[in-house]
Amino acid sequence: MKRRLFLKNAAGTGLVIGTRLPEFCSDLALAGPPPKLSHVEARYYRKLPDREIICDLCPRKCRLGDKERGYCGVRENIGGTYYTLVYGRPCSVNLDPIEKKPFFHFLPGTTTLSVATAGCNLNCKFCQNWEISQFRPEQVENFDLPPEQVAVQAEKNRCSAVAYTYTEPIIFFEYMYDSALEVRKKKIRNLVVTAGYVNQDPLNDLLEVVDAVKVDLKAFSEDFYKEYVRGELKPVLETIKTVAKSRAWLEIVYLVIPTLNDKPEEIRQTARWVKNEVGDHVPVHFSRFQPMYLLKNLPPTPVSTLELAREIALEEGLKFVYVGNVPGHEGENTFCPACGRKIIGRFGYRIENMDIVEGKCRYCGHPVPGVWS
């Protein structure tokens, strides 16, 4: 079913995705019965004659008339002024291990406060969070959690960082940006988990206030992006390069989907591009696909395929390559690129040993890139 038709049908049925108050923040309140949306002016748009606007947040550059919404479904033109409808209105708030994001070289073994609103500017056929990413904010229950309360909850729950995650945080840019400022006041870090489909100006502004970015590189093929993501590859590559040049820590995830983006040559091209454009030290995670949403006809990724992808990337000179979504696999561990010893042992989201001291391998003293404290 096409995205717009799906949303129309869901709205017609009065469908609402329920959200339970998480136990750790039982003092939060629901924003009220849907629709209870925000009305905060959006950033990164241009006003045109006849109450039209052009959104400059992401490469779609939606041109919208009065009372029209962008592709993401959470930004609306009202009388020639563009508004975000999800500012301070997350539909998901949880505590997660940082390894779940996944970040492997950023404060291992710590806990993050994860925050997400409804909506997305892509439509991945394999989305694992489609029940919130592909719904409009009226169709989910939302918490009343303004930016200053994001910081309060992170501090109260002793989190190392706040992660803007689950859906696409770029579409709740204003909320994320302002929350990041409040979180920094508490000396807590900010993490962004994104598909990287964003224009350069907002990205550069965001990189001034966040500490780490994990980019989902869906494939190394424009055809794949067009058919299975409803987006483009080139802006994502530009995002990765921009993050790599910034002060923010970067990690990359490549979800390996059988028959669609798992060819050895595509994996090799990806690894070569990462090494040449952003550096051999950037962690790359090859993660296991599980059938869901609109791709239930394909099997889970064979572990052997993930192992081959990791082997290829290491052959191409990447130093930190991981196998994801296979708990207990050797490819979850971090090995020193100099002496080859295991310096971080993992089992799923659990850290079993940590042998990095002041950013260096405990055994040979070789520097290990990352944020360790």
- Along the chain (373 residues), what's the average pLDDT of each consecutive run of 10 residues? 39 42 64 75 98 98 98 98 98 97 98 98 97 95 96 97 98 98 98 98 98 98 98 98 98 98 98 98 98 96 98 98 97 98 97 97 98 97
Can you give the pLDDT at residue 27? 64
Phi–psi pair at 145, nearest 5 degrees:
-140, 85
Residues 279-310 have pLDDT tens digits of 999 999 999 999 999 999 999 999 999 999 99
pLDDT value of position 53: 98
For CATH 3.20.20.70, list the domain ranges present in the chain.
Answer: 92-318
Alpha carbon of residue 304 to chain centroid: 26
pLDDT of residue 23: 67
Tokens of 210: 């966040």
Q: What is the pLDDT of residue 163?
A: 98
pTM here is 0.93
* Residue 61 to residue 361: CA distance in whole angstroms: 46
What pLDDT does residue 36 have? Answer: 83
| Structure tokens given for 207 | 């990189």
Contact indicator for 320, 271 with CB cutoff of 8 Å? no
CATH number 3.20.20.70 given to 92-318: yes
